[in-house]
């Protein structure tokens, strides 16, 4: 493994060698095999960091430079979000395996037993936890190998080919925006044709500078001059990144269609959805299209799987979770009003449960997530950019961390609104692992999530949530989680009196 890592670092790219793509493909194949033998424990993220670094984004760039856009997509998907991919192995749907016959049913039972044993071991810390989980993981790989020997199942749990990944664009294009030291590119994935490659003039260092500039602006959000400075920033983002992408979209996509952004590396911290030229007679991106985000194409495909029909939106259960006075944090004086407003907006459309104060504890919240289709968090979001598994919602009795969230297996989860700070802020060293609170909620089962890119102003959150839930009603007057992206877009257009930095920090992820 180490020799391949060294090879990739100096040989193919430095000398433009003809084996570049073969090297990336082989390394990712070996990496996938290696990770399959490791248990998905938080401490193994250090292994992922050491082995992957910028591997996926560099492989993507190399493929595009070699005119292989479909291979670029396959390798990027294979090399990003590796921890989530590991965990997904433990929750793999087995319908096709069971349907293959009696042997398949037996192997499906074995697979279920092994994955249950691994989950139990992961929840049972101890000095021998690592060895126990490793042994169980090896047993699981044996079952997977036997499943792949069944007719039609040779690709069970293997990286998806382009023909499968293209399904992510079935409701609108997915736009990958990639930053590599070898160049920056956009790749537009379309449902009915090959991906379209758009080279970008900006460099990776230029993207990093934009990210740092935005960080300073949002920290200084209460400055009188911040709106003007943010507008200048959004124009720069438009000129440097969005303009050529939008020019192409306008040739192939109707006005007000939905689009999904899939940013990599330093692009992950930029509000692509809010870019605008701010020139006379020109529209902003939000005027042209309805933006959503997805950490990977596989995550978007999974978010649409087993979706309920819109008619099932009647009889919905919603829980509002508020914590205004978390230990060690500033008081959020508007939390109670925010939950009361939401309760008013959904009255007669859903059963609303309100959890606040001392009731807002980890055990109670975990149980409420299992019994409600929708959840609204109104509390402090605590990002940890060095140890992202410790990123958390601040509750009455402690931190509801990512590590706790991903242990939830929520069968009926539909929609989560995260009215908390920094819920899409991940690992500063490994942004392509997409490890943040919003992605954790997605992995737990929520198909549609509203997250935040920086600090939320408690005084404005109530106004935004109020208008948003009004916009979540479909034509029949029922609540519909598939309207979340459109509802957010409409909300931000209506609330022109809200400070600009607060209007653009909310983003939609998922279906």
Residues 401-440 have pLDDT tens digits of: 998 998 887 878 999 999 999 999 988 877 777 889 999 9
pLDDT of amino acid 2:
47
- Other C-beta atoms lying within 10 Å of the C-beta of residue 336: 16
Stated as kind and residue range, the H or E segment containing 99 is helix 95-99
Q: How big is the chain, counted in residues?
A: 511
Residues 359-372 have pLDDT tens digits of: 999 999 999 999 99
Q: What is the pLDDT along the chain (511 residues), one digit of tens a residue?
A: 444 455 455 445 554 656 788 888 887 877 766 665 555 555 555 555 555 668 889 999 999 999 999 999 999 998 887 777 767 655 666 778 998 999 999 999 998 888 888 878 877 888 888 788 888 888 888 998 999 999 988 878 777 899 999 999 999 999 999 999 999 999 999 999 999 999 999 999 999 999 999 999 988 666 667 889 999 999 999 999 999 999 999 999 999 999 999 999 899 999 999 999 988 888 899 999 999 999 999 999 989 975 554 434 456 899 999 999 999 999 999 999 999 999 999 999 999 999 999 999 999 999 999 999 999 999 999 999 888 889 999 999 999 999 899 888 787 899 999 999 999 998 887 777 788 999 999 989 999 999 999 999 999 999 999 999 999 999 888 999 999 999 999 999 999 899 999 999 999 999 9
Q: Is the pTM of this model over 0.85?
A: yes
3-state class of 189 per DSSP? strand
Distance CA 508, CA 290 (A): 10
Between the two ends of the chain, the Cα-to-Cα distance in Å is: 37
- CA-nearest of 257, 256, 95 to 170 is 257
Instruction: Give yes or no for a contact between 102 and 154, defined as CB atoms under 8 angstroms apart.
Output: no
Instruction: Give yes or no for a contact between 20 and 13, defined as CB atoms under 8 angstroms apart.
Output: yes
pLDDT of amino acid 29:
76
Q: Strand 448-452 relative to strand 415-419: parallel, antiparallel, unpaired? A: parallel
3-state class of 152 per DSSP? coil
pLDDT of amino acid 505:
96
Q: Please give the structure tokens belonging to residue 174.
A: 């997915």
Sheet with strand 196-200: strands edge to edge = 196-200, 183-189, 174-180, 258-263, 290-293, 506-510, 448-452, 415-419, 374-378, 316-322, 350-355
Note the Cα 499 to chain centre separation in Å: 26
Which ranges constitute the DSSP H helices of 318-413? 335-345, 362-371, 402-405
DSSP 269: G
pLDDT of amino acid 104:
93
- Other C-beta atoms lying within 10 Å of the C-beta of residue 174: 27
Distance CA 420, CA 381 (A): 5
DSSP 327: T
pLDDT of amino acid 83:
73
Of the CA atoms within 13 Å of residue 360, those in its CB half-sphere come to 29
Q: Long-range contacts: 210-219, Cβ < 8 Å, 24+?
A: 210/236, 210/237, 210/240, 210/266, 210/270, 211/266, 211/269, 211/270, 214/269, 214/270, 214/271, 215/269, 217/501, 218/453, 218/454, 218/455, 218/501, 218/505
DSSP letter string, 438-497: HHHHHHHT-SEEEEESS---HHHHHHHHHHHHHTTB-TTS-B-GGGHHHHHHHHHHH-TT
Burial of 397 per CB tally in 10 Å (0-12, 13-18, 19+):
middle
Sign of torsion over alpha carbons 475, 481, 485, 490: positive
pLDDT of amino acid 276:
95
Instruction: Give yes or no for a contact between 470 and 347, defined as CB atoms under 8 angstroms apart.
Output: no
pLDDT of amino acid 90:
59
Burial of 497 per CB tally in 10 Å (0-12, 13-18, 19+):
exposed
pLDDT of amino acid 250:
97
∠440-257-77 over CA atoms, to 5°? 40
Distance CA 374, CA 489 (A): 20
Q: Strand 392-395 relative to strand 374-378: parallel, antiparallel, unpaired? A: unpaired
Note the Cα 387 to chain centre separation in Å: 18
Residues 329-340 have pLDDT tens digits of: 999 999 999 999
């Amino acid at each position: 493994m180490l020799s391949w890592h060294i090879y990739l670092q100096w040989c193919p790219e430095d000398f433009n060698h003809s084996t570049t793509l073969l090297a990336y493909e082989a390394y990712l194949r070996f990496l996938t095999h290696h990770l399959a033998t490791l248990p998905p424990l938080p401490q193994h993220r250090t292994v992922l960091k050491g082995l992957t670094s910028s591997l996926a984004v560099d492989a993507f760039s190399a493929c595009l430079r070699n005119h292989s856009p479909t291979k670029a997509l396959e390798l990027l998907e294979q090399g990003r979000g590796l921890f989530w991919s590991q965990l997904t192995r433990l929750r793999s749907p087995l319908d096709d395996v069971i349907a293959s016959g009696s042997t398949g049913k037996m192997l499906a039972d074995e697979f279920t037993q092994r994955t249950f044993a691994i989950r139990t071991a992961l929840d049972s810390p101890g000095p021998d936890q690592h060895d126990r989980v490793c042994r169980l993981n090896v047993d699981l790989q044996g079952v997977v190998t036997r499943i792949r020997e069944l007719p039609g199942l040779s690709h069970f749990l293997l990286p998806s080919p382009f023909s499968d990944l293209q399904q992510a664009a079935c409701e609108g294009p997915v736009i990958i925006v990639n930053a590599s030291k070898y160049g920056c590119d956009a790749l537009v994935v379309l449902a009915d044709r090959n991906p379209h490659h758009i080279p970008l003039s900006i460099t990776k260092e230029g993207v990093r500078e934009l990210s740092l500039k935005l960080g300073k602006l949002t920290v200084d959000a209460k400055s009188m001059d911040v709106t003007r400075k943010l507008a200048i920033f959004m124009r720069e983002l438009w000129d440097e990144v969005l303009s050529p992408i939008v020019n192409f979209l306008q040739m192939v996509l109707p006005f007000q269609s939905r689009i999904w952004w899939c940013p990599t590396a330093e692009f992950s911290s930029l509000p692509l959805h809010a870019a605008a030229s701010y020139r006379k007679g020109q529209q902003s991106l939000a005027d042209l299209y309805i933006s959503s985000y997805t950490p990977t194409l596989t995550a978007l495909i999974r978010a649409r799987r087993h979706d309920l029909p819109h008619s099932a939106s009647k009889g919905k259960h919603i829980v509002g979770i508020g914590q205004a006075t978390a230990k060690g944090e500033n008081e959020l004086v508007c939390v109670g009003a925010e939950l009361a407003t939401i309760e008013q907006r959904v009255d007669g459309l859903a059963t609303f449960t309100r959890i606040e104060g001392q009731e807002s504890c980890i055990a109670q919240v975990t149980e409420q997530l299992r019994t409600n289709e929708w959840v609204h968090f109104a509390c402090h979001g605590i990002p940890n950019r060095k140890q992202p598994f410790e990123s958390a919602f601040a509750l009455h009795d402690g931190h509801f961390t990512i590590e706790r969230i991903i242990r939830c297996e929520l069968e009926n989860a539909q929609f989560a609104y995260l009215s908390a700070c920094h819920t899409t802020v991940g690992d500063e060293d490994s942004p392509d692992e997409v490890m943040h609170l919003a992605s954790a909620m997605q992995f737990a089962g929520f198909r549609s999530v509203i997250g935040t890119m920086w600090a939320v102003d408690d005084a404005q959150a109530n106004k935004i949530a109020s208008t948003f839930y009004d916009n979540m009603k479909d034509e029949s007057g029922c609540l519909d989680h598939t309207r979340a992206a459109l509802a957010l877009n409409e909300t931000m257009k209506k609330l022109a009196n809200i400070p600009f930095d607060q209007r653009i920090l909310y983003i939609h992820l998922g279906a």
